[in-house]
Amino acid sequence: MLKAKLPKLVQVLENNVTLKEVYRYSYDYMRDASEKSVDVQTALVMLQLVLGSRSAHVGRFVHFVTHHQPRLRCINRDQWTSFVEFCFTIKHDYDNYDELQACNVFFFFYFFFWLAGLEFNPSSYRACSL
């Protein structure tokens, strides 16, 4: 039954406004009510499920966090919300990224990770699939 409804769900999520709403809702869904943030591994999986095929930043960001931020333990709501805006605003080649514009510091480090060309191999990244 769910499998039959999946194409309709995919079609609904093609609308960026709806996708952003689902993305924001997913933070509360995965967050333990007693916590203010989400475990980083849980957040990375949800990120791939919700945005994986919609933005080139997802694979790069997952790689960056997994391989270059080993001390990161959680993602807070501000980081979570900022990432979806980053994905929909910043081009995949970062052509329109402005280092002087206000942004979450975490994404600033992510941008410079990409700029330095540190060992991201897109062929080694596999997004989660349903």
103 in a structural domain = yes
pTM: 0.73
Residue 39 within a domain: yes
Is the backbone of residue 126 left (phi > 0), alpha (psi -120 to 50) or beta? beta
Return the CA Rg of the chain: 15
Is residue 129 a part of any domain in this protein? Answer: no
Which pLDDT value is given to residue 105?
61
120 occurs within a structural domain: yes
Identify residue 8 by its one-letter amino acid code. Answer: K
Handedness of CA 76, 88, 71, 62 (dihedral sign): positive
Kindly indicate the confidence band of residue 34, based on its pLDDT and cuts at 50, 70 and 90: very high
> Domain of 75?
2-124
Average pLDDT for 97-114: 66
Mean pLDDT of 105-117: 68
pLDDT (average), residues 102-111: 64
Q: Is the model's pLDDT at 115 over the cut of 80?
A: no
Residue 130 lies inside a defined structural domain of this protein: no
Q: What is the pLDDT of residue 39?
A: 92
Q: Are 90 and 110 spatial neighbours (Cβ–Cβ below 8 Å)?
A: no
Structure tokens at 24: 């924001």
CATH at 93 = 1.10.238.200
High-pLDDT (> 70) share of the chain, %: 75
Q: How many domains does the chain have?
A: 1
Mean pLDDT of the chain: 78
Contact status, residue 130 vs residue 13, Cβ threshold 8 Å: no
Residue 38 lies in a domain: yes
- CA dist 59 and 53 (Å) reads 9
73-101: pLDDT as tens digits = 999 998 898 888 888 887 877 787 776 66
90 in a structural domain = yes
Q: Confirm whether 113 is domain-assigned.
A: yes
Residue 42: what pLDDT? 94
Helix-then-strand count for the chain, H and E: 6, 2
